[in-house]
Structure 1
């Protein structure tokens, strides 16, 4: 199960977070852990350079995309290799939505579209769609007979 998808800016302010199967009382722990992990390890990192961590039998894959830090945490069937695929799909969708590598401002301008993409990629903790063209069609919000 994908436990968390968290996107924050370079100073640790959370822009988007999605938790699945994580109790409310543990969410603050995960937020602070992931933001601290990024602050410690992502300084000077190149765009789309992947990092892997493990915490409490949970794998975390994280990366930098412009001014944005992206974290994905998973357990059970979602090991580091599966999480790299999830991160790749999410970064591709963010770049497509923003039309280039995002700054924080550009990310916030395209916030709604990016959230729609996240909803189509991850559904209830399971990787749902990975095909870029399918995600684009699904976020158009048109009835299926017009697709």
Structure 2
């Protein structure tokens, strides 16, 4: 199960967060843990360079995309290999929505489109879509023709 997807800016402020199956009282712990993890490791990271961590029997894959950090947390069948595929789909969809690796301002300008893309990629803690063209069609709010 995918437990969390978080987007933060370079200062560690949360831009978007999606938790699934994480109790409300544990979310603050996860937010602060992920932001600290990113602050320690993403300072000199290259764009889209993947980092992997493990904490409390869950896997974490995270990266920088422009001025935005992306964290994906999973457990069980969502190991680091599967999470790297999930984060690849998320980063390519964000780049597609923004037209380039986003600055914080561009990310916030395209916030609605990015949330739609995220909803099409991850649904109730499960990976739903990985096809970039299908995600693009679904976020236009038109019914898909290849069903």
Tell me the TM-score normalized by structure 1.
0.97
For the residue of structure 2 that corresponds to 1:5, the secondary structure is strand
- Asked whether 1:137 is paired with 2:128, we answer no
Indicate the residue corresponding to 2:85 in structure 1: 85
For the residue of structure 1 that corresponds to 2:27, the secondary structure is helix
Q: Which runs of 5+ in 2 are unaligned?
A: none
Measured against aligned partners, the alpha-carbon deviations of 1:50-102 in whole angstroms (never above 9, x if no partner) come to 00000000000000001000000000000000000000000000000000110
Indicate the residue corresponding to 2:32 in structure 1: 32
- Verify the 8 A CA contact 2:137 2:144 in the aligned structure 1: no
For 1:96 and 1:133, locate their aligned partners in 2 and report how far apart those are by CA, in whole Å.
10
Q: Which runs of 5+ in 1 are unaligned?
A: none
For 2:37 and 2:144, locate their aligned partners in 1 and report how far apart those are by CA, in whole Å.
41
For 1:118 and 1:70, locate their aligned partners in 2 and report how far apart those are by CA, in whole Å.
12
- Asked whether 1:57 is paired with 2:46, we answer no
Indicate the residue corresponding to 1:12 in structure 2: 12
For the residue of structure 1 that corresponds to 2:73, the secondary structure is strand
For 2:67 and 2:88, locate their aligned partners in 1 and report how far apart those are by CA, in whole Å.
17
Runs of 4+ that moved beyond 4 A: none
Q: How many residues align?
A: 147
For the residue of structure 2 that corresponds to 1:12, the secondary structure is coil
- TM-align CA RMSD: 1.3
For 1:61 and 1:100, locate their aligned partners in 2 and report how far apart those are by CA, in whole Å.
21
For 1:8 and 1:17, locate their aligned partners in 2 and report how far apart those are by CA, in whole Å.
9
Question: How far is the alpha carbon of 1:142 from its aligned partner?
Answer: 2.0
Question: How far is the alpha carbon of 1:144 from its aligned partner?
Answer: 4.6
